[in-house]
Amino acid sequence: MPNPVKQFKSTILILLVLSLLSFSTKAQEKQPVDYVNPYIGNISHLLVPTYPTVHLPNSLLRVYPERNDFTSDLIKGLPLIVTSHRGSSAFNLSPYQGDLKNLSAVISYSYDLEKITPYSYQVYLDEQRVDVDYAPSHQSGIYELTFEKDGNSYIILNSRNGNLKWDGKAISGFQSLGNKTNVYIYLETEQKPEIVSVLKGSELIKGTEAEGRDAALVIGFKKNDKKINLRYGISFIDAEQAKKNVAREIKTYSVKEVQDKGRAIWNKELGKILVKGGTESEKNIFYTSLYRTYERSVNISEDGRYFSAFDGKVHQDGGSPFYTDDWIWDSYRAHHPLRVILNPKEEGDILNSFVRMAEQMPNFWMPTFPEINGDSRRMNSNHGVATVLDAHVKGITGFDLEKAYQAGRNAVMDKTLAPWSGKPAGKLDEFYQEHGYIPALKDGEQETIAEVHSFERRQPVAVTLGTAYDEWCLAQLAKSLGKTDDYELFSKKALNYRNLFNPETKFFHPKDADGNFLKPFDYVFSGGQGARGTYGENNAWIYRWDVQHNIPDLISLMGGSAEFTKNLDDMFRQGLGKSKFDFYQQLPDHTGNVGQFSMANEPSLHIPYLYNYAGQPWKTQKRIRTLLKQWFRDDLMGVPGDEDGGGMTSFVVFSQMGFYPVTPGTNQYSIGSPTFEKVTIKLDNGKTFTLLAHGNSEENKYIQSAKLNGKTWNKTWFTHEDLLAGGTLELQMGPKANRSWGLEK
């Protein structure tokens, strides 16, 4: 007779195998967008790193739930467009059932069952008992609102400062964003409203047009209209263009149909990089980081036209879309270099947009912080020249190199170098041109320079180092353009960082106008709030390495490779020096600490790769893996600090792939330690570049040997030309460092 025990065990085994096969099949069915978790980083230790943004790649329309922070119990209406990376909704939509005496321009809702993907937003307004389903297109969006309660259903549409009117078929209007910039809306519903009223405060008034602060219209529907579908277009040109945008993009009232289109668009974009191996969490981190890099810049061309806040006019784009909302101080380091690889045509259009901005502004200066309503000139330096050089040396076209160079040169020479300022060059700049550094104020010395912004400080070390890098970029561009005199001029000025190097301490140290190092001086805490009196957001330990363009010289200044490496080690081991409360109260951007290193701010991103330049690449491999594991996780607190629309997460994308552009403006990528066993990059030229990490695992993080296209490779870098040619970089991984690998120059 058959043994029942054996039969039972066999049945269990078969079921287990089938279950595992089913799980494996389901895992294989996941597409890149399914790994995106927009909630990663929505909470942090101090700052607000990320928002769960719903949008299509680099599109004009972006939305996210408007709340004070992730843990807020209420959301403020439903969003229609967020006009900047960290802005609030320009228009607001509030569904409502109940006593009309309780209406307000924006209703705050208790909510539940929220689900966000890059291409969809669902939420349940539990006290109002309304199901919300949403999908974005490029310049338009669609909502489906399902009301559960009996009674009439209402929708309140709000413009915080503008105009709204009902024409019998749709609502159109605008909201002012400042600097003569408006955002326009055209909104129509599938179900015809029964009533339309103006809301003034909490009072309904007969009328079809509202204007001014919190301009609001209320549209009411029949009792049996339990489901309200609406679609809308957004424009920066006018309401008529907004109408055209929604008519072009959304020809249905089916939210699912628009979501399906959005999902396909995201999968195509994210699928340009395919990864194998690693954990599910590591894939979530990777594809979420890649999704973040498409939040900015935004393409604001509409049917071949665009409104430019840089001159307040509507222009024809001539077939090259206009991009803005690009915080270049944050994005030049890794975000733009990543776009050079994945979206070379669009990168050319972005740089062409920079040139147009310069042409449209009163002075022909390269922008520094171009936003929807103009260049806010935030932070320090003029790193647009770095994006131009990096693109140029990597073969990007589509923009006028001569004009781009001239705009960058003017920004460095004719505009003040004072941070957060758009004024012409003045006394501070005259001093820099003569002495080669920005002078620091002594303790107690009052600011007298007019070009320094009223709420900012000089940031003398940060500005000197950043400008030296910009001048190196100008030198390389001048050489390429055959401008010999400029090449020689800017090549000399590119060494100005030496003027602030203290040979005794091996730090970049602020000097006063007399050429004396400020003393006494604390490399952690001197400089006041945000260290802005001397550095900028980060302290001296971070700016110690801010010579991306001449790392061999920095090694020499510090006394050679051994001393350079020791100083790197010391940074990761040096304590905060005060309590966390006191440290972060003064340096709120200097978070994500490992010793004095800050993983949370962009000037730090290249630092872990510097061991490669000093003959100890195994320390880069160890440090990259450690930092990724410590600070970038698949959870709400999985980003250590400000994630500026791709500025920081581009570092994650590069580092998880296994390489990083330490010096934008050169063609080299520095090799780290890949997270995955296989990375395949689909290039715009039809070729693929593959990185294989044989035996890769959490323990096997050290490179034992390497081959590039089958040939032994003992260098810690490869070139952009190697990447564009396709082929394969093979790494053999192991649990302990091979200290003889990667020593070839």
CA-based nearest residue to 578, from 642, 657, 524, 638: 524
CA-based nearest residue to 65, from 80, 75, 57: 75
The CATH code of the domain that includes 126 is: 2.70.98.10
**Residue 27: is its pLDDT beyond 50?**
no
CA-based nearest residue to 378, from 493, 455, 263: 455
Q: For the sheet with 668-671, list strands across it.
A: 659-660, 668-671, 717-719
Calpha distance 122→65 (Å, rounded): 10
- Give the tokens for residue 173: 């209007």
Q: What is the pLDDT of residues 623-655, one digit of tens each?
A: 999 999 999 999 999 999 989 889 999 999 999
pLDDT of residue 394: 98
Residue 614 half-sphere exposure, CB side, CA atoms within 13 Å?
25
Give rounded-to-5 percent helix, strand, coil for the chain.
Answer: 35, 25, 40
Q: Is residue 177 part of a domain?
A: yes
More confident residue, 69 or 499: 499
Non-local (6+) Cβ contacts of 390 within 8 A are 332, 336, 337, 340, 661, 664, 665
User: Cβ-count burial of 469 within 10 angstroms (0-12 exposed, 13-18 middle, 19+ buried)?
Assistant: buried
Calpha distance 490→589 (Å, rounded): 32
CA-based nearest residue to 334, from 92, 678, 660: 660
Q: What is the pLDDT of residues 441-465, one digit of tens each?
A: 998 899 999 999 988 999 999 999 9
Question: Crossing angle for the helix pair 255-270 and 280-292, nearest 10 degrees?
Answer: 100
The type of residue at 318 is G
Which pLDDT band holds residue 49 (cuts at 50, 70, 90)? confident
Please name every residue paired with 123 in a beta bridge, in sequence order, or none if there are none.
132
Helix (H, G, I), strand (E, B) or coil at 638: coil
Calpha distance 360→382 (Å, rounded): 18
CA-based nearest residue to 44, from 601, 532, 609: 601
Calpha distance 404→365 (Å, rounded): 9
Looking up tokens 């006009």 gives 83
Residue 315 half-sphere exposure, CB side, CA atoms within 13 Å?
21
Q: What is the pLDDT of residues 185-205, one digit of tens each?
A: 999 999 999 999 999 998 999
Average pLDDT over residues 507-533: 97
Which pLDDT band holds residue 24 (cuts at 50, 70, 90)? very low
Q: What is the pLDDT of residues 673-687, one digit of tens each?
A: 999 999 999 999 999
Tell me the pLDDT of the chain averaged across its residues: 95
Calpha distance 249→233 (Å, rounded): 9
Q: Is residue 163 part of a domain?
A: yes
Region of 398 on the Ramachandran plot (φ > 0 left; ψ -120 to 50 alpha; else beta): left
Quote the distance between the C-alpha of residue 335 and its chain's center: 7
**Residue 507: is its pLDDT beyond 60?**
yes
Average pLDDT over residues 266-273: 98
Q: How far lies 56's CA from each of 283, 462, 723, in Å?
A: 20, 35, 27
Non-local (6+) Cβ contacts of 285 within 8 A are 40, 628, 632, 633, 634, 638, 652, 656
CA-based nearest residue to 138, from 36, 266, 52: 266
- Number of neighbouring beta carbons within 10 Å of residue 474: 29
pLDDT of residue 25: 46
For 526-607, where are the E strands, in sequence order?
Answer: 593-594, 597-598
pLDDT of residue 133: 98
Q: Is residue 116 part of a domain?
A: yes
pLDDT of residue 84: 81
163 and 173 Cβ atoms separated by less than 8 Å? yes
Question: Crossing angle for the helix pair 384-393 and 460-480, nearest 10 degrees?
Answer: 30
Looking up tokens 């790494």 gives 731
For 317-408, where are the E strands, in sequence order?
Answer: 323-324, 370-371, 374-375
**Span between the terminal Cα atoms of the chain, in Å:** 74
Number of structural domains (the chain) is 1
Average pLDDT over residues 286-309: 98
* Kind plus residue range of the DSSP H or E element containing 117: strand 112-117
- The C-alpha torsion from 296 through 302 and 303 to 304, rounded to 10°, is -70
**Residue 19: is its pLDDT beyond 90?**
no
| Cis? peptide before 491, omega within 30° of 0 | no
Q: For strand 688-694 and strand 727-734, is the pairing parallel, antiparallel, or unpaired? A: parallel
Please name every residue paired with 497 in a beta bridge, in sequence order, or none if there are none.
none
Calpha distance 235→740 (Å, rounded): 58
Average pLDDT over residues 713-734: 98
* Kind plus residue range of the DSSP H or E element containing 479: helix 460-480
Q: Is residue 149 part of a domain?
A: yes
Q: For strand 154-166 and strand 91-96, is the pairing parallel, antiparallel, or unpaired? A: antiparallel
* Kind plus residue range of the DSSP H or E element containing 177: strand 170-178
Q: How far lies 344's CA from each of 12, 528, 685, in Å?
A: 54, 41, 10
Q: For strand 203-206 and strand 273-276, is the pairing parallel, antiparallel, or unpaired? A: unpaired
pLDDT of residue 202: 87
Q: Is residue 143 part of a domain?
A: yes
Q: Is residue 685 part of a domain?
A: no
Q: What is the pLDDT of residues 124-152, one digit of tens each?
A: 999 999 999 999 999 999 999 999 999 99
Q: Is residue 188 part of a domain?
A: yes
pLDDT of residue 585: 96
pLDDT of residue 92: 95
Q: What is the pLDDT of residues 234-268, one digit of tens each?
A: 999 999 999 999 999 999 999 999 999 999 999 99
Looking up tokens 């607001």 gives 92
- Number of neighbouring beta carbons within 10 Å of residue 195: 12
92 and 158 Cβ atoms separated by less than 8 Å? yes
Average pLDDT over residues 52-63: 98
Calpha distance 40→420 (Å, rounded): 30
**Residue 37: is its pLDDT beyond 70?**
yes
CA-based nearest residue to 462, from 408, 516, 387, 540: 540
| Cis? peptide before 460, omega within 30° of 0 | no
Q: Is residue 109 part of a domain?
A: yes
410 and 363 Cβ atoms separated by less than 8 Å? yes
Angle value at C-alpha 16, between 11 and 22, nearest 5 degrees = 125
- The C-alpha torsion from 677 through 683 and 686 to 688, rounded to 10°, is -20
Question: Crossing angle for the helix pair 649-657 and 617-631, nearest 10 degrees?
Answer: 130
pLDDT of residue 193: 97
CA-based nearest residue to 680, from 271, 281, 269: 271
Q: What is the pLDDT of residues 552-605, one digit of tens each?
A: 999 999 999 999 999 999 999 999 999 999 999 999 999 999 999 999 999 999
Please give the model's pTM, rounded to 2 decimal places: 0.95
Question: Which structural domain, as residue segments, surrounds residue 190?
Answer: 66-267
Calpha distance 713→722 (Å, rounded): 12
pLDDT of residue 67: 93
